[in-house]
Amino acid sequence: MTDEEINTEILLDHYRNPHNHGQIDDASEKLLEFNPVCGDTVQLTIKIDNDTVSDIKFIGRGCSVSQGSASMLTDKVKGMKIEEIKKINEEDIIRMLGLKLGPSREKCALLSLNALQKCIANHEKKAQGGN
């Protein structure tokens, strides 16, 4: 098996049996991110305690790349400091997947990262608001 084939298998495994799937009832942030072109959707709920993502869950629908990468990303950031999460960029996600994706499929891969970064930004805005 090539690396590409192994990584495809890993992604499909996450797609078929997603990790951190579901919703957190008392979430600090909830956000739905959606690509109107292909209909890929990811809805994140995250719990933030002491500037750390203590829990994160997702539900969604769409292709294996959008849903599989959401599963992998939620695994990666659970327990991570917000400051560390803010440093995760697009290349990190592509590297995490280890797949050669064309530009249109890259958008699928980045859907959950976009949702996560928006959640963090919303959280910080609220914190600055003095609540």
Contacts with another protein, residue ranges (CB under 8 A)? 12, 15-16, 18, 21-23, 32, 34, 37-41, 43, 59-65, 67, 104-105, 108
Question: Taking a C-beta distance cutoff of 8 angstroms, is the pair 108, 56 a contact?
Answer: no
Closer Cβ to another protein, 100 or 125, answer by number: 100
Buried-state track 6-30, b at ≥16 Cβ within 10 A, e below 16:
ebbebbeebbeebebeeebeebbbe
Q: Which is nearer to another protein, 61 or 81 (CB)?
A: 61
Q: How many CA atoms lie within 13 A of 130 on its CB side?
A: 0
Quick one: 10 or 59, whose CB is closer to another protein? Answer: 59
Name the minimum Å distance from CB 51 to another protein.
Answer: 27
